[in-house]
């Protein structure tokens, strides 16, 4: 499927190109969704640049996803399919940019591209050139990445208040497992967005180095540098959030271990308290003939009293030594 955006007085008009149809000569942005071989050949003829297939994009190394063609620059970056899901699935999106037109090749529905398509149809301040549309798309992607990091930070703050204020108990297995899973989901989301930011950072740096080939203005170059700084700050935010998640995970496990240690301590103290009466009962449980209290009428009461006294003495001793 191919969607072409052509200039009008009120922005860019969205046109869906039928199978076998010709691309409008005035197209500023050509969005290709899971293109067929024929559609890819038509776009290559329009841009005078070879468009990599899905298999080529997935097979080439990350360092080789940015290169220059005679008529344009070809850049492949990672974008999240749905950034706000617990585990955002990443998809490679290829940008073929020239001084007049932008072609995007994707095999999914990144929300950023959908939002950019809506914006260019109504915003008359966007110039009808490929670089202008591309920078608009970069701005939307970076804004969404920042929003996702802020949401992840909010979820972290909520979870940390739950762990440190409400407390996590090993006896509440569902709450304990839920806290661990939530931390894992936040960490996975941050890791995915970190990959996106790394990919975009390399893409913008490559574009700056090829600014003459795509006729970037000084204002466009400044915008690229500004977006690069924004991406760097988002990555730093993600790194800090990763460190805080590691601390929270250690604290969560530590609190549960501390509670379990307290339970084990209680059992250990009880075993010490009942050790003397167990010894006394073992002595009087021996079946020897010549035992002094064997035929004594008060022998049972005497042994029970000794056992109770030993329990009381051991308890008071542990309390005095602050072991209980």
At residue 93's C-alpha, the angle toward residues 110 and 223, to 5°, is 85
- Whether 56 is covered by a domain: the verdict is yes
Give the sign of the dihedral formed by CA 156, CA 157, CA 162, CA 167. Answer: positive
165: containing domain: 2-259
Residues 180 and 116 placed together within one structural domain of the fold: yes
- Whether 269 is covered by a domain: the verdict is no
**Model pLDDT for residues 297-308, shown as the tens digit of each residue:** 888 888 888 888
Distances (CA, A) of 311 to 50, 224, 279: 88, 78, 11
Q: Identify whether the C-beta of residue 268 lies closer than 8 Å to the C-beta of residue 262.
A: no
Give DSSP secondary structure letters for 53-106: PHHHHHHS-GGGSEEE-SS-EEEEEEEESSTTSSSPPEEEEEEEE-SS-EEEEE
Residues 141 and 234 placed together within one structural domain of the fold: yes
pLDDT category at 81 given cuts 50, 70, 90 is low
- Whether 51 is covered by a domain: the verdict is yes
Residues 161 and 120 placed together within one structural domain of the fold: yes
- Whether 268 is covered by a domain: the verdict is no
Sequence-distant (6+) residues with CB within 8 A of 323 are: 269
**Model pLDDT for residues 162-214, shown as the tens digit of each residue:** 877 766 665 666 777 778 888 888 888 888 888 888 888 989 998 888 888 88
- Whether 189 is covered by a domain: the verdict is yes
- The closest of 91, 54, 93, 46 to 72, measured between CA atoms, is 46
Angle, in degrees to the nearest 10, between helices 173-209 and 218-273: 160
Show the beta-strand stretches assigned E in 98-252.
102-106
- Three-state secondary structure call for residue 271: helix
**Model pLDDT for residues 108-156, shown as the tens digit of each residue:** 788 888 888 889 888 888 888 888 999 999 999 888 888 888 888 888 8
């Amino acid at each position: 499927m191919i969607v072409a955006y052509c200039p009008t007085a009120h922005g860019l008009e969205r046109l869906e190109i039928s199978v076998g149809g010709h691309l409008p000569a005035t197209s500023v942005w050509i969005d290709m969704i899971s293109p067929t071989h024929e559609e890819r050949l038509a776009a290559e003829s329009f841009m005078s640049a070879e468009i990599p297939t899905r298999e080529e994009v997935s097979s080439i190394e990350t360092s080789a996803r940015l290169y220059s063609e005679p008529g344009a620059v070809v850049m492949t970056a990672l974008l999240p399919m749905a950034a706000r899901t617990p585990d955002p699935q990443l998809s490679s999106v290829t940008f073929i940019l020239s001084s007049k037109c932008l072609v995007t090749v994707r095999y999914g529905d990144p929300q950023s591209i959908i939002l950019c398509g809506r914006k260019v149809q109504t915003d008359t301040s966007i110039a009808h050139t490929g670089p202008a549309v591309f920078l608009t798309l970069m701005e939307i992607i970076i804004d969404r990445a920042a929003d996702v990091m802020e949401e992840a930070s909010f979820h972290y703050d909520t979870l940390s208040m739950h762990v440190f204020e409400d407390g996590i108990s090993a006896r509440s297995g569902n709450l304990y497992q839920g806290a661990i899973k939530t931390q894992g989901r936040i960490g996975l989301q941050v890791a995915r967005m970190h990959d996106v930011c790394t990919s975009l950072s390399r893409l913008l740096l490559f574009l700056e180095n090829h600014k003459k080939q795509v006729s970037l203005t000084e204002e466009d170059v400044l915008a690229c540098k500004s977006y690069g700084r924004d991406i760097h700050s988002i990555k730093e935010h993600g790194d800090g959030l990763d460190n805080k998640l590691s601390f929270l995970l250690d604290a969560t496990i530590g609190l549960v271990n501390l509670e379990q240690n307290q339970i084990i301590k209680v059992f250990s103290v009880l075993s010490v308290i009942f050790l003397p009466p167990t010894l006394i009962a073992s002595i009087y449980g021996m079946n020897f003939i010549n035992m002094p209290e064997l035929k004594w009428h008060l022998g049972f009461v005497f042994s029970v009293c000794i056992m109770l006294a030993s329990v009381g003495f051991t308890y008071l001793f542990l309390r005095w030594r602050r072991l209980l």
